[in-house]
Structure 1
Amino acid sequence: MKKLSIIALCLLSGSLWAQSKKQKDREAIKSMCGCYEVRFNFAETFSPLPDYEFHDNYSSGALEWVELVEDEKDKISMQHLLIVGNGQIVKHWRQDWIYENTQLYSFMGNSTWQRQVLDKKAVKGQWTQKVFQVDDSPRYEGTATWIHQDGRHYWEASSYSPLPRREFSKRNDYNVMLRVNRHELTGNGWIHEQDNDKILRSAEGDKLLAQEKGWNTYQKVADEKCIAARQWWAKNQLYWKEVRAVWEEVYAENPVLTIATRQNDGLLFEKIFALGDQVMEQDTFNIQEIRAQVKSLISSHKSEGQ
């Protein structure tokens, strides 16, 4: 009887520790919400090719509002909104965090993502970060454990992705990026650190073109500075909720998904944004009609046979 009590106590202690650890993870993730002055900095640091011409460093900045979209036990979703120029709002990337997730999309190249199924034991205690493009199409996904040690709070994982938006329309000398993404909280915000390999992928295999360092800083400022973004999201969030719902259906239906960002009649994200502008000008909001229109746009950019 005494042995059973000890076993029960050990199990309870383990359960409470896991609960406490998960709660720390959730608090760390959600602390990335709010209003920030953001600086984006990238520099190529190395190439194995003796004749490689290094590209200029990239640097830019803006105000950015990070909105908490979903807050569930095993899922946290956050939408980034840039404030640029004279208060113009740009719907930026989205990050979803899923606890002990066993399915994720891996970028294969040629605008194609393939679903991977992970072992439950391998992802125990981990969080998958799923990053989406401005139109909520896939970008990259990675899974790892949040670390809370010696006063530091960080998460780091690697994943393949397409070219970043700052380069995809300017370069064709590589077609896959291998990212090492690190999110670490600071005393006044957080840092998104990146160590990226720029890879030319072909039938012969992967060839490293260059390596790059990314250092994106998010410095917390008063929420009032992002009031324009908050107002924009309040007005537009219903439309984007339906866009996300349609994409979830597309993901569920396609273990392999190929999305062409550009067709003869334009870019996918431009079409989805234009539809959103039309919807916001209407007096009524027909959910089924909006979903059908969004799905039609996405289908027009999917490869045949999927």
Structure 2
Amino acid sequence: MKQVIATLFAVTLTFGAMAQTKKQQDREAIKKMCGCYEVTFNFAETFNYSNDSLYKPSENKVDKGLEWAQLVTDKDDKIVIQHLLQVGNPADPMIIKHWRQDWLFENTDLYTYNANNEWEFQKKSADDVKGQWTQKVFQVDDSPRYEGSATWVHVDGKSFWENTANAPLPRREYTKRSDYNLTVRGNRHEITDFGWIHDQNNDKVIREAGKEDVVLAKEKGYNVYKQVPDSRCEAAANWWKENNQKWALVRSKWDEVYSRNKDLVLEEKVDNKVLYKYLFDDGYETGEKIDALIESFVK
């Protein structure tokens, strides 16, 4: 009997060590998305299903840029990466706060986009997310964008994570298109020997209450992040050192909003001005002002 118990104990320890090794592999893969990158953004509409003979597909879009991915939080169950674009004259570049991605291990609380600036709160079971990481993606003002949970896969020398999530229209589209109101994003993050790839297969969807979703068109996205020396992004790294305290206040307020664990509806504009334009203004530096501003956008 003692031998059986000892064997079971050894097996338990082995599986525990394997699980920890897998989690550590996941963490290392996520953190490999940090650093300085030359990025190529590629988007092309591949198929359209419109009944309108005058339908015009979105033009192919290819952009390049230099992006700094700053590690903000590095905890066992949470990794936060803030992206910053560095543009203009390399001798005196402009820094633009870009998107942010949070990675949470075995997270059960998610906000699913439901079109028209509405996010539906969902509570998953612990079994549903066992071993998984949730990627939460945020706008430039740290308001919600999209999120989903899936398992990192490490096989045949590859490390990748795949998920499908509902999202608002991308910035390159929402000022130009009003014929659809939801993007169903098929996301694949793959770590490579030169950096990483964000591979997307997206549906442009028309969602109306009480009706079935209609897929208007499909889109391919292929964003390549080629790692370059961190010194090339020194201006962005320094900008973050000077500005990170303000954005910590912004994240803290949003965290309080998200912790209410209920459906979230946001105003598109307040006094005819979008949130990020307020927050990019130097007039919003204190927690009191930031809290009041963000609250004014929460319906």
- The aligned counterpart of 1:273 is 280
TM-score by length of 1: 0.93
- The aligned counterpart of 1:232 is 239
Code of the residue aligned with 1:228 in structure 2: it is A
- The aligned counterpart of 1:293 is 289
- The aligned counterpart of 1:8 is 9
Q: Does the aligned pair in 1 maintain the 2:284–2:290 contact within 8 Å?
A: no
RMSD value, Cα = 1.1
Shift of 1:279: 5.7
How far apart, in 2, do the equivalents of 1:64 and 1:222 lie?
A: 12
Code of the residue aligned with 2:221 in structure 1: it is G
> Which runs of structure 1 show a deviation greater than 6 angstroms over 4 or more consecutive aligned residues?
none
Q: Does the aligned pair in 1 maintain the 2:200–2:222 contact within 8 Å?
A: yes
Q: Does the aligned pair in 2 maintain the 1:140–1:160 contact within 8 Å?
A: yes
- The aligned counterpart of 1:107 is 113
- The aligned counterpart of 2:226 is 219
Partner SS, residue 141 of structure 1: strand
How far apart, in 2, do the equivalents of 1:209 and 1:279 lie?
A: 40
Q: Tell which deviates more after alignment, 14-23 or 39-48.
A: 39-48
Code of the residue aligned with 2:298 in structure 1: it is K
TM-score by length of 2: 0.95
Q: Does the aligned pair in 2 maintain the 1:178–1:197 contact within 8 Å?
A: yes
Q: Does the aligned pair in 2 maintain the 1:175–1:200 contact within 8 Å?
A: yes
Which of 122, 126, 130 is equivalent to 1:124? 130
> Matches of residues 107-256 of structure 1 in structure 2 within 5 Å?
107-203=113-209, 204-256=211-263
Partner SS, residue 261 of structure 1: coil
How far apart, in 2, do the equivalents of 1:131 and 1:19 lie?
A: 25
**Deviation by residue 1:255-288 (Cα, 9 ceiling, x = unmatched):** 11111232333111101111xx2367xxxxxxxx
- The aligned counterpart of 2:298 is 302
How far apart, in 1, do the equivalents of 2:235 and 2:192 lie?
A: 26
Which of 67, 70, 86 is equivalent to 1:67? 70
How far apart, in 2, do the equivalents of 1:124 and 1:228 lie?
A: 40
For structure 2, the residue ranges without an aligned partner over 5 or more in a row are none
Q: Tell which deviates more after alignment, 263-272 or 177-186.
A: 263-272
Q: Does the aligned pair in 2 maintain the 1:93–1:133 contact within 8 Å?
A: yes
Partner SS, residue 213 of structure 2: strand
- The aligned counterpart of 2:24 is 23
How far apart, in 2, do the equivalents of 1:240 and 1:299 lie?
A: 16
How far apart, in 2, do the equivalents of 1:27 and 1:178 lie?
A: 28
Shift of 1:56: 0.8
**Deviation by residue 1:64-108 (Cα, 9 ceiling, x = unmatched):** 000000000100000000011121000000000000000110001
How far apart, in 2, do the equivalents of 1:301 and 1:30 lie?
A: 32
Code of the residue aligned with 1:94 in structure 2: it is R
Partner SS, residue 46 of structure 2: strand
Shift of 1:119: 1.0
Shift of 1:212: 0.2
Change (3 A) 1:255 1:279: closer
Q: Does the aligned pair in 2 maintain the 1:198–1:209 contact within 8 Å?
A: yes
Shift of 1:300: 1.7
